[in-house]
Amino acid sequence: MKKKRIALLFAAIFAAIALCSCGPEDIDLGMGKTQVLENYIEFTPVNAIMCSDEIYAPVGSESGWVYNGDMEDPAYVALVANVKNLTDKEIKMQNFAVPILKQGGQEYESYQNLLLVNNDTLLSSREAIGPKEEGTVYILMDGQQKTRGNAEVELTFDNDDYEKYDIYHLKLDTSKNIDQTLPLKKDKAVTADGYGEITLKKVDTGKRVEPTKASKYDGYTYFTPKKPDTVLLDIQIEAENLQKEKCPDVNFVGARAVKGEKTCYGYVVTETKDNKNLKDLVDLKPGEKRLVHAIIEVPSEWKSGGVQLYLYFNGQFYEYSWK
């Protein structure tokens, strides 16, 4: 009986040692799949955005992050995730996640955690996800143009609020501009129930953007490029507000254009009801339909085409190949 007790004691000791020495787990993530970190968060990767040396919030063009490091060919990679806070405390961005970007045989460890706020117009490192609330987080990582391609992001969430050191892995193709998009076709409406409807009507370039019924006999507002050797890319969108409240045009739809390694961001203006003038900061009233211009200043050589256009509408990117 004594030998049996000793054997059981040793078995318990070895089991405890084995349990303590297991170490961190390697866990695979998938785009659109929710991973639960027990009693901490629900983490769902929803997109990845690849761009050059600057990135802006998906609507508006006032809130941006510009690369200021030492690399000669910087290319941001942003992992976008929906995060649900399961705790009774705020989750601050400063210590939310620690990523390592692995691509092209290189490892990049410089990063910034940003929370998308203010109706998707601001990327903030100072905001927090409140207790039991949800938010969209951009995990912004430095990379390089020359290493874009098959990549992997390693994530850890080891902080004061979550002490497990598991390693989460997500594979990406960083040769894309935006990982998750839906196709956009000219003159075909895209509807988001309870939010709105957009229809791409026309894309053009030039040195001047005017209202569609501009008259030389009436005064009107027009837009021209601010820099030499550039033109304005004019994306004309028929927009209808299906919400019960008014919605600012700058919040309703956002636009960006990509060619080669360069990403350009735009701003939104709206035609008056008679289509004789252009106004900025226009509120679209419930049920109202207006013609919106998304204007992007691009290099003059982009007039030849080969440009990918991305419209952001109700949380989703839509992609259109121009010429």
pLDDT at 319: 98
Establish if 240 belongs to a structural domain.
yes
Establish if 251 belongs to a structural domain.
yes
pLDDT at 161: 72
Same domain, 208 and 300: yes
Establish if 18 belongs to a structural domain.
no
Establish if 80 belongs to a structural domain.
yes
Last residue of a domain, one of 150, 173, 196: 173
Q: What is the CATH number of the domain that holds 191?
A: 2.60.40
**Rounded Cα distance, 238 and 172, in Å:** 34
Show the DSSP H helices in the chain as ranges: 2-20, 249-252
**Rounded Cα distance, 251 and 111, in Å:** 27
Establish if 14 belongs to a structural domain.
no
Per-residue tokens: 196: 């709105």
Same domain, 118 and 36: yes
pLDDT at 160: 73
Report yes or no: 40 and 87 within 8 Å, Cβ to Cβ: yes
Report yes or no: 64 and 54 within 8 Å, Cβ to Cβ: yes
Same domain, 96 and 208: no
Same domain, 115 and 211: no
Q: What is the CATH number of the domain that holds 49?
A: 2.60.40.1240
Q: What is the mean pLDDT of each run of 10 residues along the chain (323 residues)?
A: 50 48 82 96 97 90 80 93 96 93 95 94 94 97 94 89 86 95 97 97 96 88 95 98 95 95 94 94 96 97 95 97 92
Give me the domain span that covers residue 250. Answer: 182-322
Same domain, 188 and 284: yes
Same domain, 263 and 203: yes
DSSP string covering 195-233? TEEEEEEEEEEES-B--TT--TTS----B--SSTTEEEE
Question: Shortest CA distance to 270 belongs to which of 235, 219, 242?
Answer: 235
pLDDT at 2: 47
Q: Work out the angle at residue 116's Cα, subtended by the Cα atoms of residues 113 and 117, and round it to the nearest 5 degrees.
A: 130
Same domain, 235 and 282: yes
Same domain, 189 and 318: yes
In DSSP terms, 290 is beta-bridged to 239
Last residue of a domain, one of 173, 201, 220: 173
Establish if 19 belongs to a structural domain.
no
Same domain, 290 and 270: yes
Last residue of a domain, one of 104, 138, 173: 173
pLDDT at 162: 77
Token pair 């695979």 in the structure block, residue: 28
Number of neighbours of residue 163 by Cβ within 10 angstroms: 9
Number of neighbours of residue 142 by Cβ within 10 angstroms: 18
Same domain, 134 and 82: yes
Same domain, 282 and 212: yes
Establish if 218 belongs to a structural domain.
yes
Establish if 3 belongs to a structural domain.
no
**Rounded Cα distance, 270 and 250, in Å:** 9
Same domain, 31 and 166: yes
Question: Coil, strand, or helix at residue 250?
Answer: helix
What domain count does the chain have? 2
Give the tens place of pLDDT for each residue, 274-306.
999 999 999 999 999 999 999 999 999 999 899
Q: What are phi and psi of 226, to 5 degrees?
A: -95, -20
**Rounded Cα distance, 5 and 275, in Å:** 91
